[in-house]
A and B are shown apart, each in its own frame.
Chain A
Amino acid sequence: MSDTPVSRAARATPPRVARKIKGLSDRAIAWIFVGPTIFLLLAINIFPLIWTIQLSFTNYKANRIGREVKNIGLRNYERILTDTDIWLNMQATAHFLFWTIFFQVLIGFTLAYLINKKFKGNDLWTTIIVLPMMLSPAVVGNFWKFLYQPQIGLFNYIVAFFTGKEPSSFEMLGSVNLAPWSIVIVDTWMWTPFVMLICLAGLRSIPDYIYEAAEVDRASKLRQFFTITIPMVLPFLMLAVLFRGIENFKMFDLVVQLTGGGPGSTTELTSINLKREAFEKWRTGYASAYAIILFVTVFGLASIYVKALNKVKER
């Protein structure tokens, strides 16, 4: 008998077990291995999804066990899609998504570009820059709350130093105009390093000989940047945008700690609103419909985006 891994495994299998599996086809054995994973996937992901879809057509409330559950058709969907307050939540989420991604990509790429240059203390700076993303969002939310405090907050004092305004004359978290920007600033501070790391990986994956060839062709630095660096880093950048987009669409903890959704409902992102509907008001059926709408939105946008990403990679 040859001494391959398969034959060694066959010899090591106890005869009793060997007799039992002897009659099984390769496909059956494959199912035995894959089965538990599929079962878990069905139990943890697919079943709850189907159940949520079913609940979204009812008036079910999880805290009212004895209450009659009625099928109300598309009423929950209709209420959500015609509710102006929910559209305001969607707008707040879109504002947060767009600007956090914009700033994170801009600053993250710039930092990666600078860090990629060889200089003394390069590694130390990389470590310092990535520190914010190692912190818990709840911690970050809490200490930025203090930084934004109008009377004692460092942020207000720094702004006051540069603008000559009174530190307590403006409230980052309490003003309807500034609060949406205050959460953008904190998220950008925390997650720009993540985008930077992905961009850095992209920059370091560009072989030096391409730049050397460009140098031989007398291409300017600017031209090299736009015709080599950007196109080759683009798939990485797009991946970073995808990750941050999905993460920020479900942003909850950081914003809850900072503003609690206020002032009023100015920073009440859809995830915060959804949590209130599902686990504070206990409108389970309504919240299920809301969750399905958000899921379809994210899934749809992500699918389109991934297709675009694949096209860029194929180029």
Chain B
Amino acid sequence: MKNLKLASASALAIASASFASTAQADDLTLCWAAWDPANALVELSKEFEAQSGHTMSFEFIPWPNFADRMLNELNSGGKLCDLLIGDSQWIGGGAENGHYVKLNDFFDNQGISMDDFAPATVYAYSTWPKGTPNYYALPAMGDANGWFYRRDWFGRDDIKAAFKEATGRDLGEPKSQKEMLEIAQFFQGREIDGKTVYGAAIFTERGSEGITMGVTSALYPWGFKYENTPGAYDMEGAVNSPEAVEALEFYKEFYETATPPGYTNSYMGESLDAFKSGQVAMAMNWFAFFPGLYADPNTGGDKIDFFVNPPQNQAGSTLGGQGISVVAYSDKQDAALEYIKWFANPDVQAKWWELGGYSAHNSVLNDPGFVDSQPFAGDFLDAMGGVQDFWQEPAYAELLLAMQKRIHDYVVADQGTAQEALDKLIEDWTEVFEDEGKL
């Protein structure tokens, strides 16, 4: 009884603390990457400003500098951001280094249930250690790596006939990775409307995370695993399995035979440019960009269609997306928590999706009208059902940069074999985990 009283008293105290700021208007700063969904969030947040009396400022950093800028901010205990929509891989560091506020008590007291969000997003964006009910973020923006293509080209009779003649099958959305490569190779160097076009835009960027995000879109469908036993860090035989080697060789072949010339250091922006300028028949990119692509007056509308990352040995998509966290160094944590409570509201989540953000809330995703609400909505649901993420360890940056180097060395710089690249990757990762005291 005494415990119950204590618990009630603490709950009341936390709840009062959470909303004490309603009387006092704060200026909250939300930090995120500079991209299309961020603009939607600015629009959405106007409702919060009207309801709460707080004002919202935004700090949007271009993607190539986002991780550097934000991780430096967190590591230095900076107070720039009250709320941070940080990448999924930062959750381990955010939690272990004390950058993010743990949200369990707040969720309990405010009646926010993680069961209301898609399980894959809760696992990826909110929990640390992985899969445990320790929450450091609310799923804010579901995302995965998907594909889009020139529907108008795919629909042309002359192109369809040429494809049938070349491959013996009908031109359409690929059902496997190898079919996708075949289509891309078919378009490579083809003359369409007097212009030479190319197969596909894939990720090859060296500096931040580009080529890793691209190559994992091939590795996961081949069945790539980071460890043989989850949590054991036993990578030998998993990271360099025959399937992984085959997938890596596939990605290299894709790069060499089906991408535009000079496509050696390309990521999101270059993929969008290549597609919008009519250079490529297909492109990979994050679902977050799909609303903007569909709305594009030149290559959007009925000229574009979308498909989920095709399976090979199994279904698999690279996870993107982020959770929203309260920064532990913020002086306005109460107001920031208030924002999170507001954001978790199903009505706000519905509006978020309407404006172009990818809600991870079940009430939105399970709505009977969701699949038909956008031409890419069904693909998004499919993708989120088979997503896999990179390591989310506190040392993720070291793990990521090692992979960037090994993969770029092999795929773009043509050094060594796929087997050697993955063997060396295991050596690099082993060294990191030894430094971390996990091996």
CB<8 Å pairs between A and B, sample of 9: A168-B261, A171-B261, A174-B263, A174-B412, A260-B205, A260-B265, A264-B410, A280-B68, A283-B398
Partner pick for B265 among A169, A259, A276, CB 8 A cutoff: A259
Cβ contact within 8 Å between B75 and A282: yes
- List, in ascending order, chain B residues with CB within 8 A of A183's CB: none
Q: Is B6 in the interface zone, CB < 8 Å from A?
A: no
Q: Is B262 in the interface zone, CB < 8 Å from A?
A: yes
List 10 tightest A-B contacts by C-beta distance, closest first: A264-B413, A174-B264, A264-B409, A150-B262, A262-B206, A150-B261, A63-B75, A260-B207, A263-B413, A168-B261
Question: Distance in Å from the Cβ of A292 to the closest Cβ of chain B?
Answer: 19
Q: Is A66 in the interface zone, CB < 8 Å from B?
A: yes
Q: Is A151 in the interface zone, CB < 8 Å from B?
A: yes
> Interface residues of A: mostly helix, strand, loop or mixed?
loop
- List, in ascending order, chain B residues with CB within 8 A of A260's CB: 205-207, 265
- List, in ascending order, chain B residues with CB within 8 A of A168's CB: 261-262
Give the number of chain B interface residues (Cβ < 8 Å): 29
Question: Distance in Å from the Cβ of B281 to the closest Cβ of chain A?
Answer: 16
Question: Distance in Å from the Cβ of B195 to the closest Cβ of chain A?
Answer: 11
| Given known A280-B68, A281-B397, A283-B398, contact A262–B97 (CB-CB < 8 A) | no
Cβ contact within 8 Å between B394 and A64: yes
Q: Is B435 in the interface zone, CB < 8 Å from A?
A: yes
Question: Distance in Å from the Cβ of B81 to the closest Cβ of chain A?
Answer: 16
B residues adjacent to A (C-beta < 8 A): 68, 71-72, 75, 93, 97-98, 205-207, 260-265, 394, 397-398, 401, 405, 408-410, 412-415, 435
- List, in ascending order, chain B residues with CB within 8 A of A169's CB: 261
Q: Is A233 in the interface zone, CB < 8 Å from B?
A: no
Cβ contact within 8 Å between A171 and B262: yes
Cβ contact within 8 Å between A63 and B71: yes
Residue of A64, A148, A149, A169 with highest tally of chain B CB at under 10 A: A64
- List, in ascending order, chain B residues with CB within 8 A of A129's CB: none
- Give Cα A250 to B299, complex, Å: 44
A residues 244-291 near B (Cβ < 8 Å) are 256, 259-266, 276, 279-283
A residues 60-114 near B (Cβ < 8 Å) are 62-66, 85
- Give Cα A283 to B434, complex, Å: 13
Chain A residue with Cβ nearest B414: A176
Cβ contact within 8 Å between B412 and A63: no
Chain B residue with Cβ nearest A260: B207
Cβ contact within 8 Å between B264 and A263: yes
- Give Cα A173 to B263, complex, Å: 10
- Give Cα A264 to B411, complex, Å: 8
- List, in ascending order, chain A residues with CB within 8 A of B415's CB: 176, 264
- List, in ascending order, chain B residues with CB within 8 A of A266's CB: 413
Cβ contact within 8 Å between A62 and B408: no
- List, in ascending order, chain A residues with CB within 8 A of B410's CB: 264
- List, in ascending order, chain B residues with CB within 8 A of A56's CB: none
- Give Cα A171 to B261, complex, Å: 7
Partner pick for B264 among A62, A85, A171, CB 8 A cutoff: A171
Partner pick for B206 among A59, A151, A263, CB 8 A cutoff: A263
- List, in ascending order, chain A residues with CB within 8 A of B206's CB: 260-264
Cβ contact within 8 Å between A281 and B97: no
Cβ contact within 8 Å between B397 and A151: no
Cβ contact within 8 Å between B262 and A174: yes
Question: Distance in Å from the Cβ of A314 to the closest Cβ of chain B?
Answer: 47
A residues 114-166 near B (Cβ < 8 Å) are 148-151, 153
- Give Cα A132 to B355, complex, Å: 46
- Give Cα A85 to B402, complex, Å: 12
Question: Distance in Å from the Cβ of A96 to the closest Cβ of chain B?
Answer: 17
Question: Distance in Å from the Cβ of B392 to the closest Cβ of chain A?
Answer: 15
Question: Distance in Å from the Cβ of B418 to the closest Cβ of chain A?
Answer: 14
Question: Distance in Å from the Cβ of A239 to the closest Cβ of chain B?
Answer: 35
Question: Distance in Å from the Cβ of B184 to the closest Cβ of chain A?
Answer: 17
Cβ contact within 8 Å between A263 and B97: no
- List, in ascending order, chain A residues with CB within 8 A of B408's CB: 262-265
- List, in ascending order, chain B residues with CB within 8 A of A276's CB: 401
- List, in ascending order, chain B residues with CB within 8 A of A281's CB: 397-398, 401
Task: Apart from A263-B264, A264-B405, A280-B397, list 13 A-B contacts with CB within 8 A.
Answer: A63-B75, A63-B93, A149-B262, A171-B261, A171-B262, A173-B264, A174-B262, A176-B413, A260-B206, A263-B206, A264-B206, A264-B412, A265-B413
Cβ contact within 8 Å between B93 and A265: no
Partner pick for A279 among B68, B97, B207, B414, CB 8 A cutoff: B68
| Given known A64-B97, A266-B413, contact A282–B262 (CB-CB < 8 A) | no
Chain A residue with Cβ nearest B424: A85
- Give Cα A276 to B400, complex, Å: 11
- Give Cα A202 to B262, complex, Å: 43
Chain A residue with Cβ nearest B394: A64
Cβ contact within 8 Å between B401 and A151: no
- Give Cα A105 to B262, complex, Å: 31
- List, in ascending order, chain B residues with CB within 8 A of A153's CB: 262
- List, in ascending order, chain A residues with CB within 8 A of B414's CB: 176, 264
Partner pick for A173 among B93, B262, B397, CB 8 A cutoff: B262
- Give Cα A259 to B260, complex, Å: 17
